Amino acid sequence: MPLTCPQCGSDRIRSGSLHAHDSLRHRLLYRPLRCRECHQRLWVLSPLKPLLLLTVVGATVGATAWLALGSPARQPDQPSASPPHLRAEQGDAEAQLQMGMRYAEGDGVIQNDKEAARWFALAARQGLAEAQYQYGLALLHGKGVVQDYQSAFRWIEQPAQRGYARAQFTLGELYRYGTGTAIDKARAYLWFNLAAAQGVEAAAKARDSLVWQLKPEQITAMQEEARRISRTAHPATAEAAVKP
């Protein structure tokens, strides 16, 4: 049975990479994957990693016993890579995003919304789409920062304009209910349409629920706007952004 993304339901799954903040259990026993549509990370149990772990443990025990007999320990040739918090402090946007996610989820650190929002903000100001979206959500829900709907709208709009599907769906919700902006059902339809074109099922349902509330000329105008935005964000799939 093919794997599907629990976030958006897409079966377009590719191999992912391990991150410094991943838990020891995930590193030792699981294989990381990533959805090509919404970029959600997911894990599957790796049948080879437990065997490899046993092999490594056996080798470590043997090496320890050998060293205990008097063999001099070798010094490492070079220092290990900097941990993510040091890279984050040095201005690495990806590391700053990792630190934000760790504090948001309590992964290896004490859960702290304020620290999470601080790291998201630093990475967001460097233009990282996921960080902009996460910082926008923090402002939207008042998690670790003073709740500010208008600022949340502005931060979420930036990755949405660049084709980030989750941000597009959330921006549609903001327009639909007038959160941080005036209610605009036509523009809500626009952003739901763009997110739906990238496989976000909830966006497709939300878009279709708005059709009866709009005039035909509004729908036509928003479909044309969707083509324009999609040509900028995803030139190869521009026509898919518009529902006939």
pLDDT band at 15 (very low <50, low <70, confident <90, very high): confident
In angstroms, the CA 22 to CA 32 distance is 10
80, part of any domain? no
Pair (2, 35) in one structural domain: yes
75, part of any domain? no
Residue 240 pLDDT exceeds 80? no
Number of domains in the chain: 3
201-226 per-position pLDDT tens digit: 999 999 999 999 999 999 999 999 99
Pair (129, 164) in one structural domain: no
Full residue range of the structural domain in which residue 30 is found = 1-62
What pLDDT is stored for residue 111 in this prediction? Answer: 96
38, part of any domain? yes
* CA quadruple 68, 27, 98, 108: dihedral sign: negative
Which ranges of 142-239 would DSSP assign to H, the alpha helix? 149-161, 165-177, 185-197, 201-210, 216-233
170-185 per-position pLDDT tens digit: 999 999 999 999 999 9
183, 177 Cβ separation under 8 angstroms:
yes
79, part of any domain? no
Query: What is the average pLDDT value for the chain, to the nearest integer?
Result: 84
71, part of any domain? no
159, 39 Cβ separation under 8 angstroms:
no
124-133 per-position pLDDT tens digit: 999 999 999 9
82, part of any domain? no
Please state the separation of Cα 5 from the chain's center in Å.
13
Using DSSP, state whether 31 is helix, strand or coil.
strand
Q: Which residue has the tokens 């903001």?
A: 174
**Residue 13 per-residue DSSP state:** E
29-38, 39-48, 209-218, 225-234 — which is least confidently predicted?
39-48
β-bridge partners, 13 = 35
Residue 228 pLDDT exceeds 50? yes
Residue 152 pLDDT exceeds 80? yes
Whole-model pTM: value is: 0.63
Residue 22 pLDDT exceeds 50? yes
Pair (34, 94) in one structural domain: no
Structure token pair of residue 94: 């990806």
pLDDT band at 20 (very low <50, low <70, confident <90, very high): low
116, part of any domain? yes
In angstroms, the CA 95 to CA 27 distance is 18
